Structure 1
Amino acid sequence: MALEWEQVIVDAADPVALGRWWAEALGWVLVDESAEEYEIRPAKERLPGLLFVRVPEGKVVKNRLHLDFRPDDQQAEVTRLLAHGARHADIGQTGQEPWVTLEDPEGNEFCVLGPRRG
């Protein structure tokens, strides 16, 4: 038996707006779109993807699952994402972590990691 990781589902108040935000932030492409769902992937036939789906309730507490990204240049990427509409997220960090926690326009946390340790 084999499993293939298809996508991560992201609850959203506005799946189209949030999906477009993430597509631009990641440089990913649109795969499918409706008023209720917006699916993006790194390339049309490449997995996994992100599927944003409309839900009636808003985010209340810290995410139980979040994405981590490791860029070539952490500070440049944090600066770019903040200019794109991300915000710093306070989830109890001490300030000594090698990552920066941000949140997207709907408050979903994600981390921008520092360089990989040797």
Structure 2
Amino acid sequence: MPVSLHHIVVDAHDLPALARFWAGVLGWRILSEREREVVIGPEESAPVGMCFMPVTDEKVVKNRLHLDLTSAAEDREAEIDRILALGARRADVGQSGSESWTVLADPEGNEFCVVRPKTTLID
């Protein structure tokens, strides 16, 4: 049997704050909170969650791996506004401006994208 994805691990300075941000973005909840680990997910039995681990060094370059998020077509701009209100900021990673995605960064500078809705990803 092949391995399966368990957690997406994010290095963080303020574990609880970054976990709360991502839980708010994804509509997930805090599943466990320890001194050196905070885990979020949609529910305890979910196959994949996110785990926030402590790091002391500063982020200095663009992420080598990032998350792509999607929403319903009619909600995309509203979702971007909601995520910005939660503490994200717009990020410039060299995009031209004609992309079908919007690049944002979480409160600790980790880039992620809000892409066009899944129903139009095949177009």
Mapped contact 1:7–1:49 kept (Cα < 8 A) = yes
CA distance in 2, matches of 1:33, 1:20: 11
Deviation of residue 60 (structure 1)? 0.8
Deviation of residue 35 (structure 1)? 2.2
Deviation of residue 58 (structure 1)? 1.4
Give the 5 Å matches for 1:38-77.
38-72=38-72, 73-77=75-79
Residue 9 of structure 1: aligned partner:
9
CA distance in 2, matches of 1:91, 1:85: 18
Q: 1:99 aligns with which of 93, 101, 123?
A: 101
Structure 1 vs Structure 2 CA RMSD: 1.0
CA distance in 1, matches of 2:16, 2:84: 20
CA distance in 1, matches of 2:30, 2:47: 13
| Gapped regions of structure 2 (runs ≥ 5) | none
Question: 1:75-116 deviations in whole A, cap 9, x for unaligned?
Answer: 111111111111000000000000000000000000001132
Q: 1:85 aligns with which of 84, 87, 107?
A: 87
CA distance in 2, matches of 1:109, 1:83: 16
Percent identity of the aligned residues?
48
CA distance in 1, matches of 2:100, 2:24: 25
TM-score (norm 1): 0.94
TM-score (norm 2): 0.91
Which has the larger share of helix?
Answer: 2
Which segments of structure 1 move beyond 4 Å, counting only runs of 4 or more? none
Deviation of residue 12 (structure 1)? 0.4
Count of paired positions: 118
